[in-house]
Amino acid sequence: MFRVWSVCVSLVLILWGTSEKVQGKASKLWLQPLNETFLQTGVFPSGFLWGVGTAAFPTEGSWDADGKGESVWDCFTRHTDPSSNSYIQWEEDLESVRYLGVNFYAFSLSWTRIFPDGNAKAHPNPAGVQHYRRLIGKLKELQVEPVVTLFHWDFPQVLQERFGGWLNRTTADVFADYAAFCFQTFGAEVRYWITMHNPFLLAVQGYGTGAHAPGVTGDPADPFIAAHNLLRAHAKAWHVYDKHFRPHQHGKVSITLGSHWVEPLHAQATPTNLELCQKAMEAVIGWFAEPIYGSGDYPESLKASHRGVIPEFSVQERLWMKGTADFFSLAFGRETQRVGQGLARFGQTVKLDLRSILVWVQQTYGDPQVLVAESGWFSDASVGVEDTVAIYLMKRFIMQVMQAVSVDAVRVFGYTAWSLLDGFEWNHGYSMRTGLFYIDFSKPERHRVPKTSAHFYRRLVKDNGFPAENTPRIEGRFPCDFQFGVSESVLQVHLRPFSPQFTDPQLYRWNVSGDGVLTRVTGVLLHMQPAQCTDFLFIQKHLLLLGVTGSSHYRFALDWTQLAPGGDPEKVRFYRCVLMELQRRGIRPVVTLYHPSYRSPSLGLPEPLHANGGWRNASTVEVFVSYAMFCYREFGALVSTWITINEPNRLNEAYAEEWQTVVRHLLLAHAKAWHIYDAQFRRKQGGAVSLALHADWVEPANPFLESHKSAQQQFLEFELGRFLDPLIGGGNEGRGNTSDDERAELKGALDFIALNHFTTCLVLPWKQPTLLNQEHGCALMKDATWKVSHRGQALVPWGLRRMLGWVRNRYDDRLPIIVTATGVDDQAVHDDQLRQSYIRSYLQEALKAHELDAVNLRGFYIWNLQDQHDLQFGLFSSAAHHSRPKASVSVYRDIISHRGFPSAADLRPLTCRGVDNGTRCELCTRIAENKPLLFFSVCVSVSASMLGSLTRSSEH
């Protein structure tokens, strides 16, 4: 083991060298990263080729059947058999290919099945030749194009023993003879040939570390000698085809090269890091690509450091080598990434970024046509047919190809999913799976069972990509009473006055002795003016920012810890002043009574309540109701909309073991506060009361499994239904441990539905429930193709529309809905493009829900107004950064001024006059509903008055 590690380290050092400068043609990829794209849907060009691939050794089995000879892999693995048994069950393989609906099937020939001792000048094995004739013929009948690889690592053992394998120069001639026979025998029906698959792994693992067959270790020069002869063999085969077969067969020949992708250490594009990144690419794909697609010679970074170790090409050989490929065939698989990580030990990060590799190839080698000849990952052997993670890895890679094609204009013409079916995965054996079709290796039948990734790929092939499932952008406006707002957490009390003169009766003189300070005049007291709201400098500054957004509404939370009855009256005055100033500016407040905070040790509760068990204790309910009554009395004349509790469904995390009791107490606290308002304050104040629920959408992680669809409903019912059902009704009114009297008290205690929506997740059943998820039994994951923010929040605009639709359908549109908080973090100081895109796209989905789905949506509030410290969710930077507006402020204000997305022909701002865009009181609603009768009554009254006046005049 130590010897293999030493060889690996030596190889890494040889490949890297020390300090030579590298001038890579594509270094600007690290200086100027690829354009960010929000592309999440789209289709490939017409004629794009979809395929699936296998290799002979992992799948065929029958290592010595019908005269087949022994390969180095047969010997290396001690004749593992029968693997997937594809030599016998090849027709089942083709049924699997047909099921996927692909355009081509890429497979490799077993050299020793055609020539048992590897000698192509001897007589071929008739059984082997017949097998591949049948396979190719049947593919043509199915109208599936065969893409044939001559050599995928299973080198004849006889030649390995006789010549030393690829360390012998004459092996290239033997390979050329073998290639000529295959071209002659099968070429009439084969349009695409691959000479060999990923020679990088064979050279490094087979002749360096010994991890692959033939397991050669020892001499540091061996990998370079083997690579040199592999390149020569490929070139000879290409020239054979070009000279003798191309004129009448009209096919194309290439070599499949593997690659990883690296990023600079800590994303720092320093000259040293760029050099190391370029070296890392040239040490893997450039090692073989530069001689064929570039200069005809090895990369300068390798040559300069290892003269005398790497064999040299003569001038004639360079000309002969250059251009020996008709297209670029790229492999992007797990093993190349793993080996690439070993070469990136000096400060690079290996990333699963197929798009960047494709662009690197485009910019480095003159924009060739590209076939992605291998793309896939692996699953653990225990996964079985429900390979959910594999779906999203495949989607991620294919999405990256689509971006390379549509955004970067890379000329990719085909994609090969790897692999068709589970097999014996080289040195990993049966411990890992790569197939789209599952095989139970404990059973002799070896039936091919489609995994969920096969269903996914089949649908993708049929759709030619990812067509948009959602309605395209629509034009339209929100109604005049729609609430455009900004949402905030607890608005902290700021008691610092505007000027000390307003609170200090002393008289001062300035700069009496030239020292530039205030000196008190003794014996003189000034008459103080009454306290004014202008005393609070914070309020003016804060609401000035709010006014810039153009918002009609502002939602903020009171600080319960500061407003306990009997507390400091100045703190009450502060909030009253905020509300009065909002009223003066024509902005409607939405006030939250309790906004739990995980930053607070007491979760935002007054400390005595928290110390007494918090929401575990029923006494907290009564204290909250008293607090609510106090707030209604003190501020209710200035507040038309109340939120009792923000996101009670998120308090599970703090009370995991007693969440059922906590939910009961939270519901009762809300309901009792609602009833207090309804009985004592509604008639006079005319407001509305609700609670705000966290309402992120979830999609089944695996849409092909009923268990995942059930998990979606379970999760939504747990997140929303356990709070809304008792209050509105929806099928679970009796859920939990509430009594009949309590259920009666809960029912109807809601004036509107308030939802805080930020993102969408994927949901799946959790096999080992924990205290936090034992009720819904679900786990969450993300789609790797979704755009995410710095903090990992996925941008999935259509999730908002689906959430709104789910709520409407479940509760029959009984109550209006308000999105009381939504937003995304963005690290940009000013040009916050992520947030701008978020605002536009999420408001678009809100408009679709309103206009197309008839959702009674009444408002949309952006979270939040201003950053506190770091760049996060704020529309404005923090006070420490001068409260500067970000570009998203202009975007939001523009949408508000137009009340949505009007057509190009109607871009003038919409003015709404005399509109009450709060939640209307019952009396106001009845008056509005009887406008004709009211107008008639007024007319009668006016007429009677005028008639009376005339009568009195005539009498005089």
pLDDT digits (tens, 9 = 90+) for 860-912: 999 999 998 888 999 999 998 899 999 999 999 999 999 999 988 887 766 77
Task: Please say which residue of 879, 901, 923 terminates a domain.
Answer: 901
CATH code of the domain covering residue 564:
3.20.20.80
Pairwise CA distance, residues 171 & 165, whole Å: 7
Contacts with 539 (C-beta within 8 Å, 6 or more apart), sequence order: 494, 533, 574, 577, 578, 581
Q: Which of residues 158 and 38 earns the better pLDDT score?
A: 158
Place of tokens 């592309």: 39
Shared domain for 305 and 251, answered yes or no, is yes
pLDDT digits (tens, 9 = 90+) for 453-503: 999 999 999 999 999 888 899 999 999 999 999 999 999 998 865 444 455
Beta bridge partners of 591: 556, 642
Question: Strand, helix or coil at 75?
Answer: helix
Extract long-range pairs of 32-35: CB within 8 Å, 24+ residues apart.
Answer: 34/355, 34/356, 34/359, 34/407, 34/408, 35/407
Shared domain for 728 and 870, answered yes or no, is yes
For residues 667 and 646, is the Cβ–Cβ distance under 8 A?
Answer: no
In a domain, 676, yes or no: yes
Shared domain for 346 and 213, answered yes or no, is yes
In a domain, 874, yes or no: yes
Shared domain for 460 and 544, answered yes or no, is no
Q: What's the number of domains the chain is made of?
A: 2
In a domain, 20, yes or no: yes
Task: Please say which residue of 858, 883, 901 terminates a domain.
Answer: 901
Tokens of 263: 């990023």
pLDDT digits (tens, 9 = 90+) for 754-785: 999 999 999 999 876 554 555 678 999 999 89
Shared domain for 133 and 179, answered yes or no, is yes
In a domain, 907, yes or no: no
Q: What mean pLDDT comes out for the span 725-733?
A: 75
Residue 373, CB half-sphere, CA atoms under 13 Å: how many? 30
Q: What mean pLDDT comes out for the span 265-293?
A: 89
**Is pLDDT above 60 for 732?**
no
Phi, psi of 318, deg, nearest 5: -65, -45
Shared domain for 419 and 450, answered yes or no, is yes
Torsion angle, alpha carbons of 458, 459, 461, 463, to 10: 170
Place of tokens 């290239």: 172
Shared domain for 200 and 332, answered yes or no, is yes
Shared domain for 323 and 439, answered yes or no, is yes
Q: What mean pLDDT comes out for the span 297-322?
A: 92
**Is pLDDT above 70 for 920?**
no
In a domain, 936, yes or no: no
The pLDDT value given to residue 43: 95
Shared domain for 614 and 575, answered yes or no, is yes
Shared domain for 418 and 545, answered yes or no, is no
Question: What sign has the CA pseudo-torsion 374, 380, 384, 387?
Answer: negative
pTM here is 0.87
Task: Please say which residue of 853, 883, 901 terminates a domain.
Answer: 901
Shared domain for 577 and 599, answered yes or no, is yes
Shared domain for 222 and 92, answered yes or no, is yes
- Can you give the residue range of the structural domain that contains 586? 477-490+537-696+723-760+794-901
In a domain, 514, yes or no: no
In a domain, 525, yes or no: no
What DSSP letter does each residue of 201-259 carry, written as one string?
HIIIIIIII-SSTT---S-TTHHHHHHHHHHHHHHHHHHHHHHHTHHHH--EEEEEEE-
In a domain, 711, yes or no: no
Mean per-residue pLDDT of the chain:
89
Q: Burial code of 413-442, b = ≥16 C-beta within 10 A, e = fewer?
A: ebbbbbbbbbbbbbbeeeebbbbbbbbebe
